[in-house]
Amino acid sequence: MADIIGIPDPVAPENIPPGIDKVGTGCRISDTVTVYTDLSHKERGRIVLGDDVILLDHVRLVTGDTRTNKGAFIHMGSRIIVNVGCYLSGEGGLQIEDEVLIGPGAKLLSAGHEYDHEPVSIYQHGLTYGTVTVEKGAWIGAGATILEGVTVGKGAVVGAASVVTKDVPAFSVVAGNPARVIKWREGFRPKPSVFLRLLKRIKGAIRGLGS
């Protein structure tokens, strides 16, 4: 890496940004990464990075006030790259498994706002929470938004600028607003269930009777 610029150097334990509780070996964290959390909490381990995690410029990690929101956390596995300008909300819990790629400007949002009924001002409403999980080997495209409570399945691909409002099946490729499955990764298309194969045979037999 000596001849490559634009990638942070491996972080020394004494240089871990305040608010990140634990990092593994070989992590690279830009000096412009910021953390919004409560430093007074006694429980450590709210924000944890595994080995070889890269957080590039202007990534924002958020758990909020953990004195009142005790379920907040951001846990990352190993060999994860979070590209520039990403916003990672762990207020409702954020679990990112090994070998996940997160493109520039992506937003993973585990919290939102209540908005139905009184009061009129959203400012005066409470928050809603839902754990976001990104399973091993998934790729979140540039500018994508993952909303609270969503699980992005193993090896799945989320297209750039997509808004993901429901779970993404493993090995699928989703895109759009709201995101929907547009294809499956070649070599990983799910096999039809026994029921679906039987249904296909029955439909074929019925068509044969009508001819």
**Catalytic positions, please?**
113
DSSP state of 204: H
Place of tokens 């039809």: 192
C-alpha 157/C-alpha 12 separation (Å) is: 33
Count of beta carbons in the 10 Å neighbourhood of residue 1: 9
End-to-end CA distance of the chain: 68
Retrieve residue 8's tokens: 């942070």
Could you please report the per-residue DSSP string of 5-72?
Answer: -SSPPBPPGGGPPTT--EE-TT-EE-TT-EEE--TT-S---SEEE-TT-EE-TT-EEE---TTT-TT-
Residues 114/127, Cβ–Cβ less than 8 Å: yes
Burial class (CB in 10 A: 0-12, 13-18, 19+), 110: buried
